[in-house]
Amino acid sequence: MSLHTTIHLHNVPTGREADYAAWFDGAHRDDLARLRGFRSADRFEVTPEQVMPDIPQPWRYVSVYDFDLPDPAIDLPALGPLLAAARDAGMIDDATETERIYSYRMYSDWRSGPNHRPDRPISSIFLILANFVAGMEAEYHRWYDEVHIPEVCRVPGFVAMRRGRLSEVQIEPRRYCPGSELVMCAHQTDDLLFSVKDFSARARGVSPSGDAMEPRSKAGSFARTVHFFRKISGTEVWSDGIAYAGDLSVYPPDFRITGA
């Protein structure tokens, strides 16, 4: 068996948002349940909170599909006709060819940190379409696994991370992918702005918590894009504040409202 994640980055025509949501949580889920190796599917919508605000956000929505596949070459393409049903029904706005479907072979399942609450749903995610510097792949993986995943998962509201490599098996329509590596982080928070600000502050070594991230590895290419999305599928809502193993009292009162 092999863990694979497919991300469907897309836009929906104005006025068809409710139609798409009803299809996704209705007929689409019924069809997904019949796919061999299917584990889960969720929808997310882009957030105003972005850690790299100058990077374009061409997609309003992303759907994330998780599979544990006995044979990816046989099983993964089966998702294609299901997504084509939404396209054929006019529920995907692809006038400028923005739709992207990327499948990744995951290195591992989620790796959780001390903030994770297994009894609660995730509230949002970020995706990085990333790359490593040629000749430095081993260092890139070592930095993520030994340094960056643990430090990111200690940020308030940041609870788990997983990564993958672009699969040899892709779903039509096949279009340019800017990242051979997928980095996905899960959040549990109702104050994403606070979490994004502290993530940035820790990376710069100026967080009021006193925690600072290690310098970014030179093995990580700057050819990457970062995208934050909030969860919109399902009925569970995160409403208990930030999940954080540390002491939030060290943050000044205005830290949550001064902007990123």
Q: Indicate which CATH number applies to the domain containing 162.
A: 3.30.70.100
- Residues, the chain: 260
Amino acid found at 182: L
Q: Cis ω on the peptide bond leading into residue 53 (within 30° of 0)?
A: no
257 pLDDT above the threshold of 50: no
Phi-psi region of 39 (alpha: psi -120 to 50; beta: other; left: phi over 0): alpha
- Structural contact between residues 139 and 217, judged by C-beta atoms closer than 8 angstroms: yes
pLDDT in tens, 59-108: 999 999 999 999 999 999 999 999 999 999 999 999 999 999 999 999 99
Phi and psi of 19, rounded to 5°? -65, -45
Supply 237's token pair: 């809502």
256 pLDDT above the threshold of 70: no
State the average pLDDT over residues 154-182. Answer: 97
Amino acid found at 130: A
Number of other residues whose CB lies within 10 A of the CB of residue 52: 15
State the average pLDDT over residues 47-65. Answer: 95
Q: Report in angstroms the alpha-carbon separations of 52 from 144, 190, 225, 227.
A: 19, 20, 8, 8
Task: Give the containing element (helix H, strand E) for 196.
Answer: helix 192-204
- pTM (two decimals): 0.94
Range of the domain at 129: 2-256
Domain count, the chain: 1
